[in-house]
């Protein structure tokens, strides 16, 4: 879904996309697979390797839950469009429907002169396809903004309920059911994409669209948003940072070759992104040819591409009903597949952490599914698109980059790259190469830190088309983003405060020493400094032995509250 929703920056986008895939996407994908497979735990309990970073696990679980709220809404839209497609004449082909405005204009009358004033075709909201989406499906014309949401649309509520029921029965027995469902949801989109690609490149104007797709505009690379979008898209498309990979990898066999899986899956994902660009731009070229406008005038992303331009293009083809059904089945399966992964991350992550949830997994799965349904109702009101835009921007933007950054730091610097490499060797018989270890410890964290800082500095007030969100809405958005990020330092403080002793004792050096031992930080520092102590100052080996003994006593013998 994210691929079709956000992927529209041509080959200028592919340059930072591929670069980030190599230096961050693949290494962190590999890291999460290895973490889940070795420890056999979900996103929260996997941090038994370095307990003080358990807040990272809770952060990614919360992010996955946020994304589930609005992902299910997009799937519900796809289902509504699918039901609407079972007609002899698609409902977004003319202006004779009850939802159309008096200004609705037949797209056959469009050309560059009709638009005038430099208005792009993709921004023109009076076509039948645009009015079907905004007036027939969303009823956006009945809302004045995010402050005026209205009630949920009953048609979309039913579609959302169907989606949630499908997700529940796909997940209620864990990987036993989801593993079977994914054979359909993961393979069918490839078949449909191939069919749409073959048909798309035969359309008039398709060559111009593909040529525009392959043209690299290096000026776009100067824009910070291109690099930020590419970084965010990497983690959306690969699933890194959402706890999904850790959850699914925890069900792997211990000796499974997750290194091969990481390379193969990442490569296939990147190739799929590249090929899908041909399918998208062949249709855009066809649309530009039909309306005699430039490619730039029809180019858009998000809902405008998926629910306006593509359906309109399909409506002009022979056998339009068939192509519409095929296209929205693809969107439906893509969405269900993505949403299943996110919900599995939430369910597995919390069930592994709380035994009572694990004992009642089916009931817990129902609770998560029904809970996402209730909260998603805000996104299917008259002004629901504003809520969805808010979540899409803040729920997993800067916050997901921050979570992955802390994950990389926790594993590489506190648990230790060498220890992590030994874990991988136990599973597969070989250690990761120098490239992977360097990426985990230096390259990926530095890249993520840079992108997080740039994304905050370059933030602009949120907009949707011509509507500018009020200041309070932006504050709520940042509150949503911070609600997950704050869990990381909050958990560190919580664990520090729960060390045995009064606040005064905790503040003393001895208590800090004890805290560092409990969180494995001091073990890491001892291992780092031991060679220096022995080689440079000829430390007495007995001193080293006594120090290590004290550490072990602190960890295992003292009556402190040891972190789980």
Enumerate the known binding-site residues for Na(+): 237, 269, 334, 337-338
- Bridge partners for 463 per DSSP: 468
Classify residue 541 by its DSSP letter.
Answer: H
CA 43 to chain centre: 15
Residue for token digits 């009572």? Answer: 356
SS3 90: coil
CA distance 432 to 424: 7
Instruction: Kindly write down the DSSP assignment for every residue of 11-36, as one continuous string.
Output: HHHHHHHHHHIIIIIHHHHHHHHHHH
| Start-to-end Cα distance in the chain | 37
Backbone dihedral region for residue 319 (phi beyond 0: left; psi -120 to 50: alpha; all else: beta): left
Q: Which of 345, 344, 307, 342 is nearest to 327 (CA)?
A: 307
Q: Which of 561, 554, 557, 558 is nearest to 494 (CA)?
A: 561
Enumerate the known binding-site residues.
237, 269, 334, 337-338
CA 357 to chain centre: 25
**Secondary structure element (H or E) that encloses residue 364, with its range:** helix 361-376
φ/ψ of residue 318, rounded to 5: -70, 140
Which value, to the nearest 10 degrees, does the dihedral of the CA atoms of residues 48, 52, 58, 61 take? -60
Distances, alpha carbon 134 to alpha carbons 17, 86, 107, 304, 380, in Å: 32, 20, 16, 10, 12
């Amino acid at each position: 879904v994210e691929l079709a929703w956000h992927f529209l920056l041509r080959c200028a986008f592919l340059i930072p996309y591929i670069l980030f895939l190599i230096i961050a996407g693949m290494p962190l994908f590999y890291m999460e697979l290895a973490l889940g497979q070795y420890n056999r735990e979900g996103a929260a309990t996997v941090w038994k390797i370095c307990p003080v970073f358990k807040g990272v696990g809770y952060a990614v679980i919360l992010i996955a839950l946020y994304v589930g709220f609005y992902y299910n809404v997009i799937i519900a839209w796809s289902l509504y469009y699918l039901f609407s497609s079972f007609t002899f004449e698609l409902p977004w082909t003319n202006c004779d429907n009850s939802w159309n405005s008096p200004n609705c204009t037949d797209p056959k009358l469009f050309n560059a002169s009709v638009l005038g004033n430099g208005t792009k075709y993709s921004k023109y909201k009076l076509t039948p396809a645009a009015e079907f989406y905004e007036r027939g499906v969303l009823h956006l014309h009945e809302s004045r903004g995010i402050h005026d949401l209205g009630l949920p649309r009953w048609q979309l509520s039913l579609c959302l309920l169907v989606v949630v029921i499908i997700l529940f029965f796909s997940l209620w027995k864990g990987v036993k059911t989801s593993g079977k469902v994914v054979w359909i949801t993961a393979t069918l989109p490839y078949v449909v994409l191939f069919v749409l690609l073959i048909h798309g490149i035969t359309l008039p104007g398709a060559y111009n669209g593909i040529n525009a797709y392959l043209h690299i505009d290096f000026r776009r690379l100067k824009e910070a948003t291109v690099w930020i979008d590419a970084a965010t898209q990497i983690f959306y498309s690969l699933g890194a940072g959402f706890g999904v990979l850790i959850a699914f990898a925890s069900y792997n066999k211990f000796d499974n070759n997750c290194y091969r899986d990481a390379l193969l899956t990442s490569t296939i994902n990147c190739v799929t992104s590249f090929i899908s660009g041909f399918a998208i731009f062949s249709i855009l070229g066809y649309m530009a040819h039909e309306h005699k406008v430039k490619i730039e005038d029809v180019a858009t992303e998000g809902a405008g591409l998926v629910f306006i331009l593509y359906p309109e293009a399909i409506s002009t083809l022979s056998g339009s009903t068939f192509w519409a059904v095929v296209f929205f089945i693809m969107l439906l399966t893509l969405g269900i597949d993505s949403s299943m992964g996110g919900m599995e991350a939430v369910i597995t992550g919390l069930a592994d952490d709380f035994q009572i949830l694990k004992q009642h997994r089916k009931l817990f799965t129902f609770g998560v599914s029904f809970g996402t349904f209730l909260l998603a109702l805000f996104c299917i009101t008259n002004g629901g698109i504003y809520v969805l835009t808010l979540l899409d921007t803040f729920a997993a933007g800067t916050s997901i980059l921050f979570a992955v950054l802390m994950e990389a730091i926790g594993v590489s610097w506190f648990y230790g790259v060498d220890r992590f490499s030994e874990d991988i060797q136990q599973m597969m018989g070989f250690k990761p190469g120098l490239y992977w270890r360097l990426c985990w410890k230096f390259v990926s964290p530095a890249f993520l830190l840079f992108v997080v800082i740039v994304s905050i500095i370059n933030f602009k007030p949120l907009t949707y088309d011509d509507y500018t969100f009020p200041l309070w809405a932006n504050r709520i958005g940042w509150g949503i983003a911070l609600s997950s990020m704050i869990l990381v330092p909050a958990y560190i403080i919580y664990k520090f405060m729960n060390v045995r002793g009064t606040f005064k004792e905790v503040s003393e050096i001895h208590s800090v020493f004890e805290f560092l031992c409990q969180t494995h930080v001091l073990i890491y520092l001892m291992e780092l400094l031991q060679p220096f102590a022995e080689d440079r100052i000829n430390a007495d080996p007995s001193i080293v032995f006594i120090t290590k003994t004290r550490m072990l006593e602190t960890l295992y013998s003292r009556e402190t509250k040891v972190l789980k």
